[in-house]
């Protein structure tokens, strides 16, 4: 019998709670900031309208940027907490997962700088049509840079989820469905955002693929977060793997 156990200590429980809360906070803030505010202000294929929106509703855009900064902090906290939680399962794999998430966090920080640049450029739109149009193009360039850098980061994030999925499958105290959800989510992030980088103009097929994979992409981390809050670090009946006896 092979049993990859997980210690049940206050440190493990604390790490599970920190990771779970961080993951849920990030999901809520991203839904509000990117899903609502960003979608409300950024008009696809209309740079002038987007620049005008950022200028007239700069408070909302600043709120989105502040939300991204909170996500940045939560990501760093989650990287540490997930390393602590999975370190007893496999130290090397846990360390790799932490570094992948921190690399994603660094890329996200760079992408946030592009949003700050878009905000500053939008606020400097001049009264002359030529100046306003020029600034609108620069605002679009900054927003495109955000999308590209974030997509590169999300490919790295997909590799992080791949590592977590393998660790979850190895941990006897965790249900296997969490590992499979994380592996499915990692596939979604890697494929969708690799295609976004290679096909910047996008296609109908890419949009359809993203819509299909949206649920499993979200379910991976959310499922992990909820399990960590409910059961992570607590005493559970370990999952065992039976190996056939050697024939003598």
Residues 54-92: tens digit of each pLDDT: 999 999 999 999 999 999 999 999 999 999 999 999 999
Query: Is residue 246 predicted with pLDDT exceeding 80?
Result: no
pTM over 0.85: yes
Task: Over range 173-190, report the average pLDDT.
Answer: 95
pLDDT value for 211: 85
Query: Is residue 6 predicted with pLDDT exceeding 90?
Result: no
pLDDT value for 244: 41
Q: What span, in angstroms and rounded, lies between the C-alpha atoms of 86 and 83?
A: 5
Structure-token pair, residue 111: 């992408």
The candidate with the shortest Cα–Cα distance to 181, out of 228, 215, 207, is: 215
Structure-token pair, residue 59: 């408070």
The candidate with the shortest Cα–Cα distance to 14, out of 80, 67, 74, 58, is: 80
Q: What span, in angstroms and rounded, lies between the C-alpha atoms of 124 and 122?
A: 5
Residue 9's pLDDT band (cuts 50, 70, 90) = confident
The candidate with the shortest Cα–Cα distance to 231, out of 173, 169, 180, is: 173
| Percentage of the chain exceeding pLDDT 90 | 69
């Amino acid at each position: 019998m092979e049993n990859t156990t997980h210690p049940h200590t206050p440190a493990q429980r604390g790490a599970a709670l920190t990771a779970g809360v961080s993951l849920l906070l990030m999901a809520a803030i991203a839904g509000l900031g990117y899903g609502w505010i960003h979608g409300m202000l950024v008009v696809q294929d209309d740079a002038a309208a987007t620049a005008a929106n950022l200028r007239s509703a700069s408070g909302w855009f600043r709120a989105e940027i502040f939300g991204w900064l909170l996500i940045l902090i939560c990501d760093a906290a989650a990287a540490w907490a997930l390393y602590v939680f999975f370190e007893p399962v496999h130290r090397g794999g846990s360390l790799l997962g932490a570094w992948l998430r921190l690399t994603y966090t660094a890329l996200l920080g760079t992408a946030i700088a592009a949003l700050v640049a878009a905000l500053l450029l939008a606020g400097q739109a001049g009264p002359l049509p030529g100046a306003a149009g020029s600034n609108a193009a620069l605002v679009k360039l900054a927003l495109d840079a955000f999308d590209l850098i974030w997509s590169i980061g999300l490919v790295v994030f997909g590799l992080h989820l791949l590592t977590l999925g393998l660790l979850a499958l190895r941990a006897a105290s965790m249900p296997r469905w969490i590992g499979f959800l994380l592996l499915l989510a990692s596939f979604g992030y890697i494929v969708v955002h690799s295609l976004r980088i290679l096909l910047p103009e996008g296609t109908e097929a890419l949009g359809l693929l993203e819509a299909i994979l949206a649920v499993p992409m979200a379910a991976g981390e959310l499922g992990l977060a909820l399990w960590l809050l409910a059961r992570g670090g607590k005493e559970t009946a370990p999952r065992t793997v039976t190996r056939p006896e050697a024939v003598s």
